[in-house]
């Protein structure tokens, strides 16, 4: 996400599998954990940055950070906050 830009939020129309990310001491990067969850349909998530070359995107949901397949977001989400279009 660009500095000063408003975070982009999405509402899920279907469930999305996600891997929980954990803070790493001394690093600004998060690492994947062994926790796999399913974020339910109708949940609102916030995209953190952009999708990486791996096809993964970091999102924020329910106070935690997760990694999801960007393709899953494209298939199961729509933008909210007055931003038109589908991701």
For residue 62, pLDDT beyond 60: yes
For residue 4, what pLDDT band results from cuts at 50, 70 and 90?
A: low
Q: Which tens digit of pLDDT belongs to each residue from 20-38?
A: 999 988 888 899 999 999 9
Summarize pLDDT for 38-59 with one digit per residue, the tens. Answer: 999 999 999 998 888 889 999 9
Domains of the chain: 8-79 (2.30.30)
In sequence order, what are the residues at sequence separation of 6 or more whose Cβ sits closer than 8 angstroms to the Cβ of residue 44?
Answer: 9, 10, 11, 12, 61, 80
Indicate the pLDDT class of residue 1, thresholds 50, 70 and 90. Answer: very low
């Amino acid at each position: 996400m660009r500095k000063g830009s408003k975070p982009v939020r999405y509402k899920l129309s279907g469930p999305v599998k996600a891997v929980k990310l954990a803070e790493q001491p001394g690093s600004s990067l998060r690492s994947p954990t062994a926790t796999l969850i399913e974020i339910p349909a109708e949940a609102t998530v916030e995209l953190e940055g952009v999708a990486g070359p791996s096809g993964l995107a970091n999102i924020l949901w329910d106070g935690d950070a997760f990694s999801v397949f960007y393709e899953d977001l494209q298939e199961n989400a729509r933008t909210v906050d007055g931003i038109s279009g589908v991701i």
